[in-house]
């Protein structure tokens, strides 16, 4: 059971974040608050180990039969809908209600809130039960905020999304047309090149024939030299004909050389055209994920309409109560490559809020920052996501005052 008289008391409106974060972490270590987690199957292990390495005491208890007896004894509750089923939802409701009645803080993680109507409805209902904190990624907070603002605003958001989709699709079509036009141009050039090649082959053949004819004629002239004068005249005439043919061949050879030179000169131009079309085709990808910065306004409006603290995780973890906004800028991008880091930091928020429930806003920001610092230090030793998972837990366990105070990076955004 948590003794609230030991809760962190030195918070002010504008806290010194480093010392505050250390006060929160060291209080979690000394009080070891019992945190009940109703969470998804994927996150159970990492979440429990995160809480343990921070000094809290995890209990992954979700049976409806145990909740009335157990939940009031926990210092805080963490509800995560990651692998939601119709059977588990009543347990989540019951635990949220029991925590509320016992005056214990509880935290909601609306995993993939927008993935289905069932999930969105469940999340909306749970938000309506007034969790102390809601923590999600950008897409989850956007889905939840849009679902909570009523049909007209949701309709507007859908229309805006539709407009954007139409624009992107038109742009894509334009790129496709450009690319197809280039393909046609390229094919035409190619067929012209083939025609020239065929012409060249024909001329080569004629040249060979002419060479043979000239050789024959020369041989004949030689022969005529020793033959009668009468036949010499005839042979001369044939030789003259061969001469004309050779001149004609020399002329066609020169013409062919000119065509070749002209094509060679234009080669860089063809290359430029191909390169430009390639670059345009590559620029057609459409990014559909949301950054945490995209969801700050949605988080503020959700915080206002629900009365909860709302946190959006990402490169910057934003925390808002509807008026104030702060951003925790710790963590490393590789944390996204470990499943359930988000779920785990939500549980850590529950532990921090458990020991300082009167300052849930500050406790949420410091929990996010501390988890990020553990990720940063863990990353120095990690080779990839699997080893980061291990080193993150080790680093969280080993954090000391100097490191925390020095590395906490929380700034005011409003």
Using CB under 6 A, list all residues that contact ligand TZE: 40, 42-43, 82-83, 111, 339-340, 342-343
Binder to ligand ATP among 18, 331, 357, 378 (CB under 6 A)? 331
CB of 40 to ligand TZE, least distance (A): 4
Nearest to 110 by CA among 329, 129, 331, 149: 129
Residue 411 touching ligand ATP (CB under 6 A): no
Residue 314 touching ligand ATP (CB under 6 A): yes
Residue 341 touching ligand ATP (CB under 6 A): yes
196 vs 409 by CB, closer to ligand ATP:
409
CB of 360 to ligand TZE, least distance (A): 22
Residue number closest to ligand TZE, CB atom:
82
Residue number closest to ligand ATP, CB atom:
342
Q: Which 346-375 positions form the footprint of ligand ATP (CB under 6 A)?
A: 368, 371-372
CB of 177 closer than 8 Å to CB of 169: no
CB of 163 to ligand ATP, least distance (A): 27
Long-range contacts of 187-191 (CB under 8 A, 24+ apart): 189/270
Interacting stretch for ligand ATP, rule CB under 6 A, among 97-105, 204-212, 227-235, 308-316?
A: 308-316
CB of 195 to ligand ATP, least distance (A): 56
CB of 109 to ligand ATP, least distance (A): 7
CB of 366 to ligand TZE, least distance (A): 22
* CA 315 – CA 327 distance, rounded (Å): 10
Q: Which residues of the shown chain bind ligand ATP in the complex (CB under 6 A)? A: 111, 137, 313-315, 317, 331-333, 335-336, 339-343, 345, 368, 371-372
């Amino acid at each position: 059971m948590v003794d609230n008289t030991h809760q962190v008391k030195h918070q002010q409106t504008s806290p010194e974040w480093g010392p505050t974060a250390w006060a929160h972490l060291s209080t979690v270590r000394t009080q070891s608050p019992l945190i009940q987690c109703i969470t998804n199957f994927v996150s159970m292990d990492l979440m429990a180990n995160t809480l343990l390495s921070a000094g809290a005491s995890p209990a992954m208890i979700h049976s409806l039969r145990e909740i009335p007896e157990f939940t009031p004894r926990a210092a805080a509750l963490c509800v995560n809908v990651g692998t939601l089923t119709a059977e588990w939802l009543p347990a989540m409701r019951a635990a949220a209600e029991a925590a509320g009645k016992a005056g214990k803080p509880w935290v909601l993680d609306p995993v993939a809130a927008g993935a289905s109507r069932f999930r969105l409805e469940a999340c909306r209902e749970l938000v309506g039960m007034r969790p102390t904190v809601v923590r999600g990624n950008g897409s989850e907070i956007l889905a939840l905020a849009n679902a909570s603002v009523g049909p007209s605003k949701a309709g507007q958001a859908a229309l805006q999304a539709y407009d954007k989709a139409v624009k992107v699709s038109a742009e894509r079509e334009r790129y496709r047309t450009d690319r197809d036009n280039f393909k046609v141009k390229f094919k035409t050039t190619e067929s012209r090149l083939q025609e020239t090649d065929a012409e060249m082959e024909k001329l080569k053949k004629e040249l060979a024939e002419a060479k043979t004819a000239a050789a024959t004629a020369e041989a004949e002239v030689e022969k005529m030299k020793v033959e009668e004068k009468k036949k010499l005249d005839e042979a001369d005439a044939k030789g003259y004909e061969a001469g004309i043919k050779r001149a004609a061949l020399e002329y066609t050879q020169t013409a062919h050389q000119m065509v070749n030179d002209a094509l060679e000169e234009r080669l860089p131009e063809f290359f430029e055209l191909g390169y430009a079309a390639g670059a345009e085709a590559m620029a057609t990808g459409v990014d559909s994920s949301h950054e945490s910065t995209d969801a700050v306004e949605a988080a503020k409006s959700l915080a206002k309409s629900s009365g909860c603290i709302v946190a959006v995780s990402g490169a910057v973890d934003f925390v808002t109560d509807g008026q104030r906004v702060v951003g925790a800028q710790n963590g490393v991008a590789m944390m996204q490559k470990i499943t359930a880091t988000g779920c785990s930091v939500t549980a850590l928020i529950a532990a921090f809020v458990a020991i300082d429930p009167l300052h849930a806003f500050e406790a949420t920001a410091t929990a996010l920052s501390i988890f990020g610092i553990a990720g940063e230090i863990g990353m120095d030793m990690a080779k990839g996501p699997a080893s980061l998972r291990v080193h993150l837990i080790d680093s969280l366990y080993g954090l000391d005052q100097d490191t925390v105070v020095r590395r906490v990076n929380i700034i005011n955004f409003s």
